[in-house]
């Protein structure tokens, strides 16, 4: 039996083990709000914590409802923006809230996140979500739509939008598929996708992309958005990018990556960009993106379950059996 100041939460213990335990309720500090978690989407970047263990409650794709009487947003459903940010440094003032120079903590990484019934978050991390977006789709506004659409918008600083431009997306996980949907709804017609997983590739094709065999060298691309994090995919991108083209590195990899300065690399003008998460100012446009493609985005959410099932469901997700499963909390208390 839980007391009023206790809740249930996941404990990532390392060695691919998660247990569910009872912990103290979070206590919001000044300038923070208590959020009842409604959905937290599972994310491949959590594998690190699954292997090595987490110091804090994990979970960083959080959608919930503010439950704090007297708070300006009490009762409002919000997506939780995970980078803490000061709001007044040079980066924040320029609108780059995800790259704040003063604070670099991330919710779900350096402080408690969404694999628990409640979470305390700074007020400036609350992103109100309109009523027509249902709970299951709410968390997609973060990594799946936010990170993906930001990668495309950054590329467009160097390559103006052109429907015919050949684009390759490497990796058809949730972010790669998110990039495909973002590209398609921004008008790109010539989108190719590579991924060793046939089921994921089929979804990309249903979204209007062309399958590009992994490792194939028979086409060149003006824009390559690398979402797998695999070194081989990055190397191949350097080879396949057209002169004056752009590579965007979205996928992450903790192992060092060596760039070979051979003639393929040396004898070409091209831009290589890294993009991280998204600025808060993108949020409204991202809600529009979701609205315009609700049924496509819904296909990515292929499982929903309660907290007690997380250990088993996380293992299935890590085995590549699901794309964007969501932890769904009941409101029984």
Q: Does 318 bind Zn ion (CB under 5 A)?
A: no
**Residue 32 or 143: which CB sits closer to Zn ion?**
143
The whole-angstrom separation of Cα 47 and Cα 110 is 16
Nearest partner of 203 among 144, 151, 159, judged by Cα: 144
Cβ at position 309, least distance to Zn ion in Å: 20
**Span interacting with Zn ion, options 21-29, 99-107, 153-161, 218-226, rule CB under 5 A:** 99-107
Residue indicated by tokens 């569910």: 20
Per-residue DSSP letter, 111? B
Task: Quote the least distance from Cβ 199 to Zn ion, whole Å.
Answer: 20
Question: Total number of residues binding Zn ion (CB under 5 A)?
Answer: 9
**Token duo for residue 247:** 């590579």
Contact 194, 212 (CB under 8 A): yes
**112 forms part of the interface with Zn ion (CB under 5 A):** no
Q: Is 86 in the site for Zn ion (CB under 5 A)?
A: yes
Positive or negative torsion for Cα 49, 249, 192, 281: positive
> Are 224 and 170 a contacting pair, CB within 8 Å?
yes
Q: Does 89 bind Zn ion (CB under 5 A)?
A: yes
**Could you tell me the maximum CA-CA distance found in the chain, to the nearest angstrom?**
67
Site string for Zn ion, 133-152 (x = CB under 5 A): ----------x---------
From the list 39-47, 155-163, 197-205, 232-240, the region that binds Zn ion by CB under 5 A is 39-47
Q: CB neighbours of 1 closer than 8 A, spacing ≥ 6?
A: none
100 binds Zn ion (CB under 5 A): yes
Chain positions 40 to 69 lying near Zn ion, rule: CB under 5 A, are 43, 45
Q: Which residue number is nearest to Zn ion in terms of Cβ? A: 43
Residue 105 vs 190, nearer CB to Zn ion = 105
Which distant-in-sequence residues (6+ apart) come within 8 Å of 246 by Cβ? 155, 158, 159, 222, 223, 224, 270, 271, 272, 273
Nearer to Zn ion, 51 or 244 (CB): 51
Residue closer to Zn ion (CB basis): 166 or 279: 279
What does the binding site for Zn ion look like in residue numbers (CB under 5 A)?
43, 45, 85-86, 89, 92, 100, 102, 143
């Amino acid at each position: 039996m839980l007391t009023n100041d206790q809740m249930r939460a996941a404990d990532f213990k390392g060695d691919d083990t998660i247990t569910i335990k009872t912990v103290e309720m979070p206590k919001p500090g000044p300038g923070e709000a208590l959020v009842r978690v409604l959905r937290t989407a599972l994310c491949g970047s959590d594998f690190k914590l699954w292997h090595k263990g987490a110091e804090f409650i994990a979970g960083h794709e959080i959608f919930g409802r503010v439950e704090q009487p007297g708070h300006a947003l009490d009762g409002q459903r919000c997506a939780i923006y995970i980078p803490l940010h000061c709001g007044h440094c040079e980066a924040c003032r320029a609108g780059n809230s995800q790259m704040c120079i003063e604070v670099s903590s991330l919710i779900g990484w350096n402080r408690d996140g969404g694999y628990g019934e409640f979470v305390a978050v700074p007020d400036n991390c609350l992103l109100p979500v309109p009523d027509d977006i249902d709970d299951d789709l709410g968390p997609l506004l973060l990594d799946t739509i936010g990170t993906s659409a930001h990668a495309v918008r950054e590329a467009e600083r160097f390559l103006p939008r052109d429907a015919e431009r050949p684009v390759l997306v490497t990796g058809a996980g949730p972010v790669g598929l998110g990039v495909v949907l973002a590209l398609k709804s921004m008008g790109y017609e010539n989108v190719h996708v590579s991924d060793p997983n046939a089921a994921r590739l089929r979804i990309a094709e249903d979204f209007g992309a062309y399958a590009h065999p992994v490792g194939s060298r028979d086409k060149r691309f003006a824009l390559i958005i690398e979402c797998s994090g695999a070194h081989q995919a990055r190397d191949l991108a350097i080879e396949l990018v057209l002169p004056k083209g752009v590579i965007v590195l979205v996928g992450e990899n903790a192992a060092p990556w060596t760039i070979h300065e051979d003639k393929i690399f040396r004898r070409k003008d091209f831009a290589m960009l890294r993009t991280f998460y998204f600025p808060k100012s993108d949020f409204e446009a991202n809600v529009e993106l979701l609205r315009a493609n609700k049924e496509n985005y819904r296909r990515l959410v292929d499982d929903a379950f309660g907290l007690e099932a997380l250990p088993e469901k996380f293992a299935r997700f890590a085995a590549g059996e699901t794309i964007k499963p969501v932890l769904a909390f009941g409101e029984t208390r």
